[in-house]
Amino acid sequence: MDLNYSKEELAFRDEVRGWLAANLPQDLRDKIANYDELGREDLLRWHRILAKKGWVAPAWPKEWGGTGWNVVQRYIFEEECGFAGTPPLIPFGLSMCGPVLLRFGTDAQKKRFLPRIYNGDDFWCQGYSEPGSGSDLASLKTKASREGDHYIVNGQKIWTTLGHVADWIFCLVRTDSNMAKKQEGISFLLIDMKTPGITVRPLILMDGGHEVNEVFFTDVRVPVENLVYEEGKGWTVAKYLLGHERMNTGRIGGSKRELAKLKEFVAKQPGDDGKPLSEDVRFRDRISRVEVELMALEITNLRFLDQMRRTGQPPGADVSMLKIRGTEIQQSLTELMMQAVGPLAQPFAPSNGDAGFDSFTAGLAPRYCNFRKTSIYAGSNEIQRNIISKMTLGL
């Protein structure tokens, strides 16, 4: 097992790091640093900068705009983006729907959707969770009945991230309710959000932010040509998609950036005794624990990379470890940030987008609240532990 980067990989890392430093717009860099809200146009602006460079979809085949990078290069790129503080690339099109179409889509679907996803012409969202069907996704109840050349969709999705600004949604729907196993009879549909019968209702979060939504479908007509793979085989597609989602939830580069920011802050922030918090033994110990856990996570990630580099095969159920530890570390960092700032952490982010100390502290409380979701999305951490227990340990 080799957990070290080669000379060529280190040179590649330096190339990526230099390009990001030169091409990440300062206003977007400041928004990330100050935890300001990013709008649709902010997200698409960075998407299009990377698309112009040819780096927006590294894992895609070269014929569809991919870079041809190996798994280590792709990992380095993702972590350098996280450490540099780039806006996130919204995964629903690039990292979820795109790979699904490349694996299961028809030639017509690939030609229709992939170029628009790559160029940022279409903004996608995910229609999975429903009231009562979150971690137990296979219990979903949204129905699609075929009538001629269309499916008629009725039901509800919930916690739909950025559904209010999305052009398209990929949905799991039940096309057959008579199957013995609930995982059977589910299909995967691509739905235009402008289709009559779709209603999007905002779910305003406790910090006043509008990120997630309820989406209602009332007799929504979806062309049969928008069915991905086979009718009733949507669970196969869903499992493939979730594997891609979980591999990218560790966010080690982003956590390194936040850890560095935390250390810088506590070196200046006075504690109860008037001394910098960095001199408080107990607080320093908590930071050290998170740092050690982050280092261990990085080594674990490198083990997966080495396995993929040697075998050419994606990781199995063990990848859930990255999701569990990565999201728990992200949450721990937000908790330590809040404790360090104390009463200066305001409940709402500033609306004027001013940079500086006040903007930084005002963005912490909304970020803390928002990061409670990380241990739930892409399959809750409790479910991930069940997966490891069953698939890896054989319990």
Collect all residues with Cβ–Cβ distance below 8 Å to 207 and sequence separation of at least 6.
347, 348, 349, 365, 366, 369, 370
Contact 395, 321 (CB under 8 A): no
Q: Are residues 289 and 366 in the same domain?
A: yes
Q: Are residues 256 and 354 in the same domain?
A: yes
Residue 95 lies in a domain: no
Is 147 catalytic? The answer is: no
Residue 133: give its domain's CATH number.
Answer: 2.40.110.10
Q: Which domain holds residue 48?
A: 7-89
Q: Are residues 267 and 299 in the same domain?
A: yes
pLDDT of 357 reads 46
Q: Are residues 273 and 387 in the same domain?
A: yes
Neighbours of 252 (CB within 10 A): 24
Q: Name the helix (H) or strand (E) containing 315.
A: none
Q: Are residues 159 and 257 in the same domain?
A: no
Residue 384: give its domain's CATH number.
Answer: 1.20.140.10
Q: Are residues 283 and 198 in the same domain?
A: no
Q: For tokens 């005794």, what's the residue?
A: 273
Q: Are residues 135 and 166 in the same domain?
A: yes
Residue 354 lies in a domain: yes
Contact 246, 378 (CB under 8 A): yes
Choosing from 211, 245, 258, 298, which is the catalytic residue? 245
Dist CA 86 CA 50 (whole Å): 11
pLDDT of 134 reads 76
Which 3 state secondary structure label does DSSP give 209?
A: coil
Residue 270 lies in a domain: yes
Q: Are residues 184 and 263 in the same domain?
A: no
- Domains: count for the chain: 3
Residue 215 lies in a domain: yes
DSSP class of residue 224 equals G
Residue 221 lies in a domain: yes
Instruction: Provide the Cα torsion 51, 52, 55, 59; round to 10°.
Output: 50
Residue 150 lies in a domain: yes
Q: What is the pLDDT along the chain (395 residues), one digit of tens a residue?
A: 556 788 999 999 999 999 999 999 999 999 998 888 899 999 999 999 999 999 999 999 999 999 999 888 998 999 999 999 999 999 999 999 999 999 999 999 999 999 999 999 999 999 999 998 876 888 999 999 999 999 999 999 999 999 999 999 999 999 999 887 889 999 999 999 999 999 999 999 877 789 999 999 999 999 999 999 999 999 999 888 876 555 566 789 999 999 999 999 899 888 878 889 999 999 999 999 999 999 999 888 888 877 777 776 666 677 788 889 999 999 999 999 999 888 777 665 544 444 444 556 667 888 888 898 888 877 788 888 888 888 777 76
Dist CA 322 CA 301 (whole Å): 7
Residue 94 lies in a domain: no
Q: Are residues 254 and 386 in the same domain?
A: yes
Own/partner pairs, 359-364, CB within 8 angstroms, 24+ separation: 359/34, 359/35, 359/36, 360/33, 360/34, 360/35, 363/34, 363/35, 363/36, 364/35, 364/334, 364/337, 364/338
Of 69, 89, 109, the residue that ends a domain is 89
Residue 195 lies in a domain: yes
pLDDT of 354 reads 44
pLDDT of 356 reads 43
Which 3 state secondary structure label does DSSP give 183?
A: coil
Q: Are residues 264 and 379 in the same domain?
A: yes
Q: Are residues 148 and 254 in the same domain?
A: no
Of 39, 65, 89, the residue that ends a domain is 89
pLDDT of 173 reads 98
pLDDT of 130 reads 95
Q: Are residues 215 and 343 in the same domain?
A: no
